[in-house]
Protein backbone atom coordinates (compact mmCIF):
# COMPACT_ATOMS: atom_id res chain seq x y z
CA UNK A 1 0.00 0.00 0.00
CA UNK A 2 1.27 3.47 -0.90
CA UNK A 3 2.32 5.36 2.21
CA UNK A 4 4.96 7.48 3.91
CA UNK A 5 7.16 5.76 6.45
CA UNK A 6 9.09 7.48 9.20
CA UNK A 7 11.66 5.97 11.55
CA UNK A 8 12.22 6.10 14.41
CA UNK A 9 8.75 6.88 15.73
CA UNK A 10 10.19 7.84 19.11
CA UNK A 11 13.74 8.83 20.01
CA UNK A 12 15.21 9.97 23.32
CA UNK A 13 18.78 11.15 23.03
CA UNK A 14 21.38 13.15 24.92
CA UNK A 15 22.60 16.64 24.10
CA UNK A 16 25.33 16.82 21.47
CA UNK A 17 24.44 13.57 19.70
CA UNK A 18 23.98 13.38 15.95
CA UNK A 19 20.61 12.08 14.81
CA UNK A 20 19.04 11.22 11.49
CA UNK A 21 15.29 10.92 11.03
CA UNK A 22 14.39 8.70 8.10
CA UNK A 23 11.52 9.27 5.70
CA UNK A 24 10.58 7.09 2.75
CA UNK A 25 7.51 7.25 0.54
CA UNK A 26 5.96 4.83 -1.90
CA UNK A 27 3.44 7.40 -3.16
CA UNK A 28 5.40 8.07 -6.34
CA UNK A 29 5.57 11.77 -5.44
CA UNK A 30 8.34 14.13 -6.48
CA UNK A 31 7.91 16.79 -3.81
CA UNK A 32 8.71 16.07 -0.17
CA UNK A 33 8.63 18.15 3.01
CA UNK A 34 9.62 18.22 6.66
CA UNK A 35 7.37 19.95 9.19
CA UNK A 36 8.11 20.58 12.85
CA UNK A 37 5.14 20.43 15.21
CA UNK A 38 4.76 20.55 18.96
CA UNK A 39 1.82 18.21 19.84
CA UNK A 40 -1.45 19.63 18.53
CA UNK A 41 0.19 22.91 17.70
CA UNK A 42 1.10 24.84 14.56
CA UNK A 43 2.78 23.07 11.61
CA UNK A 44 6.07 24.77 10.69
CA UNK A 45 7.67 23.99 7.31
CA UNK A 46 11.42 23.59 7.85
CA UNK A 47 12.60 21.93 4.61
CA UNK A 48 11.26 20.82 1.24
CA UNK A 49 12.50 19.27 -1.97
CA UNK A 50 11.22 19.32 -5.55
CA UNK A 51 13.07 16.13 -6.47
CA UNK A 52 16.46 14.45 -6.55
CA UNK A 53 19.32 16.81 -5.63
CA UNK A 54 16.87 19.59 -4.72
CA UNK A 55 16.67 20.92 -1.15
CA UNK A 56 15.11 24.19 0.02
CA UNK A 57 14.70 25.86 3.39
CA UNK A 58 11.19 26.40 4.66
CA UNK A 59 9.54 29.20 6.56
CA UNK A 60 10.94 28.28 9.97
CA UNK A 61 14.67 28.48 10.44
CA UNK A 62 16.09 25.15 11.51
CA UNK A 63 19.54 23.87 12.43
CA UNK A 64 18.74 20.59 10.73
CA UNK A 65 19.84 19.60 7.22
CA UNK A 66 18.26 17.38 4.58
CA UNK A 67 19.35 15.46 1.52
CA UNK A 68 17.55 13.98 -1.51
CA UNK A 69 19.66 11.41 -3.26
CA UNK A 70 16.76 9.14 -4.18
CA UNK A 71 13.25 10.19 -5.12
CA UNK A 72 11.62 8.13 -2.40
CA UNK A 73 13.98 9.03 0.44
CA UNK A 74 14.27 12.36 2.32
CA UNK A 75 16.25 12.06 5.57
CA UNK A 76 16.65 14.89 8.10
CA UNK A 77 19.85 15.24 10.14
CA UNK A 78 20.73 17.15 13.30
CA UNK A 79 24.52 17.25 13.74
CA UNK A 80 24.38 18.16 17.44
CA UNK A 81 21.04 17.75 19.16
CA UNK A 82 19.95 20.23 21.84
CA UNK A 83 16.93 20.31 24.20
CA UNK A 84 15.44 23.08 22.03
CA UNK A 85 15.17 20.50 19.21
CA UNK A 86 12.66 18.49 21.25
CA UNK A 87 9.56 18.29 19.06
CA UNK A 88 7.64 16.12 16.62
CA UNK A 89 8.93 16.01 13.05
CA UNK A 90 6.45 15.17 10.29
CA UNK A 91 7.51 14.14 6.81
CA UNK A 92 5.09 14.70 3.92
CA UNK A 93 4.89 14.35 0.16
CA UNK A 94 2.77 15.66 -2.70
CA UNK A 95 2.52 15.85 -6.45
CA UNK A 96 4.93 18.42 -7.86
CA UNK A 97 2.58 20.00 -10.39
CA UNK A 98 -0.77 20.42 -8.68
CA UNK A 99 -3.54 21.37 -11.03
CA UNK A 100 -2.39 19.13 -13.83
CA UNK A 101 -4.67 16.20 -14.66
CA UNK A 102 -6.89 17.10 -11.73
CA UNK A 103 -4.17 16.74 -9.09
CA UNK A 104 -4.63 19.12 -6.18
CA UNK A 105 -1.22 18.77 -4.64
CA UNK A 106 -2.74 17.12 -1.56
CA UNK A 107 -0.20 16.71 1.20
CA UNK A 108 0.20 13.20 2.60
CA UNK A 109 1.86 12.98 6.02
CA UNK A 110 3.87 10.28 7.71
CA UNK A 111 3.09 9.28 11.30
CA UNK A 112 5.87 11.46 12.65
CA UNK A 113 9.06 11.09 14.66
CA UNK A 114 8.85 12.33 18.21
CA UNK A 115 12.28 13.54 19.34
CA UNK A 116 13.24 14.24 22.95
CA UNK A 117 16.69 15.68 23.67
CA UNK A 118 17.79 15.52 27.29
CA UNK B 1 4.40 35.67 1.14
CA UNK B 2 1.14 34.01 2.12
CA UNK B 3 -0.20 34.36 5.67
CA UNK B 4 -3.14 32.36 7.01
CA UNK B 5 -5.07 33.36 10.13
CA UNK B 6 -7.39 30.83 11.78
CA UNK B 7 -10.09 31.37 14.41
CA UNK B 8 -11.03 30.30 16.97
CA UNK B 9 -8.07 28.52 18.51
CA UNK B 10 -10.38 26.38 20.64
CA UNK B 11 -14.03 25.47 20.15
CA UNK B 12 -16.30 23.44 22.39
CA UNK B 13 -19.75 22.31 21.25
CA UNK B 14 -22.42 19.89 22.37
CA UNK B 15 -22.94 16.73 20.37
CA UNK B 16 -25.41 17.42 17.57
CA UNK B 17 -24.60 21.13 17.34
CA UNK B 18 -22.81 22.74 14.40
CA UNK B 19 -19.21 23.96 14.44
CA UNK B 20 -17.70 26.67 12.26
CA UNK B 21 -14.00 27.45 11.86
CA UNK B 22 -12.88 30.47 9.89
CA UNK B 23 -9.66 31.32 8.07
CA UNK B 24 -8.39 34.34 6.20
CA UNK B 25 -5.51 34.47 3.75
CA UNK B 26 -3.41 37.31 2.40
CA UNK B 27 -2.22 36.25 -1.08
CA UNK B 28 -4.91 36.86 -3.70
CA UNK B 29 -3.05 34.45 -6.02
CA UNK B 30 -3.70 31.49 -3.70
CA UNK B 31 -5.84 28.94 -5.52
CA UNK B 32 -6.25 25.89 -3.32
CA UNK B 33 -7.62 25.68 0.23
CA UNK B 34 -7.57 22.34 2.05
CA UNK B 35 -8.65 21.44 5.58
CA UNK B 36 -6.76 18.84 7.60
CA UNK B 37 -7.93 16.98 10.70
CA UNK B 38 -5.41 15.74 13.25
CA UNK B 39 -6.66 13.40 15.94
CA UNK B 40 -4.67 13.06 19.14
CA UNK B 41 -1.41 11.26 18.45
CA UNK B 42 -2.20 10.81 14.76
CA UNK B 43 -0.98 12.36 11.53
CA UNK B 44 -2.90 15.22 9.85
CA UNK B 45 -5.27 13.98 7.15
CA UNK B 46 -7.15 15.85 4.45
CA UNK B 47 -10.91 15.98 5.08
CA UNK B 48 -12.08 18.42 2.41
CA UNK B 49 -10.62 20.97 0.03
CA UNK B 50 -11.79 23.66 -2.36
CA UNK B 51 -10.29 25.35 -5.39
CA UNK B 52 -10.51 29.05 -6.05
CA UNK B 53 -13.00 28.61 -8.91
CA UNK B 54 -15.61 27.09 -6.58
CA UNK B 55 -17.61 28.87 -3.87
CA UNK B 56 -18.80 25.91 -1.82
CA UNK B 57 -18.20 22.19 -1.49
CA UNK B 58 -19.98 19.60 0.64
CA UNK B 59 -19.16 16.10 1.75
CA UNK B 60 -21.79 14.59 4.03
CA UNK B 61 -21.64 16.51 7.33
CA UNK B 62 -18.77 18.80 6.37
CA UNK B 63 -18.74 21.74 4.00
CA UNK B 64 -16.29 24.45 3.04
CA UNK B 65 -17.15 27.89 1.71
CA UNK B 66 -14.79 30.31 -0.01
CA UNK B 67 -15.14 34.07 -0.46
CA UNK B 68 -12.34 35.14 -2.80
CA UNK B 69 -13.24 38.82 -2.60
CA UNK B 70 -12.91 38.89 1.15
CA UNK B 71 -10.12 36.29 1.10
CA UNK B 72 -11.65 34.05 3.68
CA UNK B 73 -12.86 30.46 3.81
CA UNK B 74 -14.69 28.46 6.44
CA UNK B 75 -15.24 24.88 7.54
CA UNK B 76 -18.73 23.89 8.64
CA UNK B 77 -19.43 20.68 10.52
CA UNK B 78 -23.07 19.82 11.14
CA UNK B 79 -24.52 17.30 13.61
CA UNK B 80 -21.19 17.04 15.41
CA UNK B 81 -20.20 13.75 17.00
CA UNK B 82 -17.58 12.95 19.66
CA UNK B 83 -15.32 11.48 16.96
CA UNK B 84 -15.15 14.94 15.37
CA UNK B 85 -13.03 16.02 18.34
CA UNK B 86 -9.59 16.87 16.95
CA UNK B 87 -7.36 19.73 15.87
CA UNK B 88 -8.37 21.19 12.50
CA UNK B 89 -5.94 23.08 10.27
CA UNK B 90 -6.82 25.26 7.33
CA UNK B 91 -4.25 25.96 4.64
CA UNK B 92 -3.76 27.97 1.49
CA UNK B 93 -1.49 27.30 -1.44
CA UNK B 94 0.06 30.16 -3.28
CA UNK B 95 3.34 31.89 -3.90
CA UNK B 96 6.07 30.95 -6.30
CA UNK B 97 6.99 27.77 -4.43
CA UNK B 98 3.41 26.52 -4.28
CA UNK B 99 3.76 25.28 -0.71
CA UNK B 100 0.82 24.96 1.64
CA UNK B 101 0.76 27.58 4.37
CA UNK B 102 -1.13 26.39 7.43
CA UNK B 103 -3.20 28.24 10.00
CA UNK B 104 -2.36 27.72 13.66
CA UNK B 105 -5.12 25.17 14.19
CA UNK B 106 -8.43 24.93 16.04
CA UNK B 107 -8.93 22.40 18.81
CA UNK B 108 -12.52 21.19 18.54
CA UNK B 109 -14.07 19.38 21.49
CA UNK B 110 -17.49 17.74 21.06
CA UNK B 111 -19.12 16.94 24.36
CA UNK B 112 -21.55 14.00 24.51
Which residues, in sequence order, are bridge partners of residue A23?
A: A6
Q: From the list B32, B51, B99, which residue is nearest A45 (CB)?
A: B99
Distance (Å) from the alpha carbon of A91 to chain B's nearest alpha carbon: 10
In this model, does residue A59 exceed pLDDT 90?
no
> Cβ contacts (< 8 Å) between B34 and chain A: which residues?
104, 106-107
Q: What is the reported pLDDT for A1?
A: 83
| Integer Cα distance of B90 and B22 in angstroms | 8
Which residues, 6+ apart, have CB-to-CB distance to B41 below 8 Å?
none
| Integer Cα distance of A43 and A35 in angstroms | 6
C-beta separation of A40 from B40 below 8 A: yes
Q: What is the reported pLDDT for A99?
A: 58
The answer to whether A59 contacts B101, with C-beta atoms less than 8 Å apart, is: yes
Q: What is the reported pLDDT for B31?
A: 87
Of A69, A85, A88, whose CA–CA distance to A24 is shortest? A69
What is the CA B31 to chain-centroid distance, rounded? Answer: 15
Q: How confident is the model over B7-31, as a mean pLDDT?
A: 96
The answer to whether B105 contacts A40, with C-beta atoms less than 8 Å apart, is: yes
Q: How confident is the model over A66-93, as a mean pLDDT?
A: 96
Confidence band for A102, pLDDT divided at 50, 70 and 90: low
C-beta separation of A46 from A60 below 8 A: yes
Amino acid sequence: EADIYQTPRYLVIGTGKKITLECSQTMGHDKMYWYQQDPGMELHLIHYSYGVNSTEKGDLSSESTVSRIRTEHFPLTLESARPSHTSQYLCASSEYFPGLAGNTGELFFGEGSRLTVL
Amino acid sequence: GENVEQHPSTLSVQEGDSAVIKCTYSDSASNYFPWYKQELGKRPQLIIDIRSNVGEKKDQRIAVTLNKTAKHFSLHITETQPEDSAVYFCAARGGSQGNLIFGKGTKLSVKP
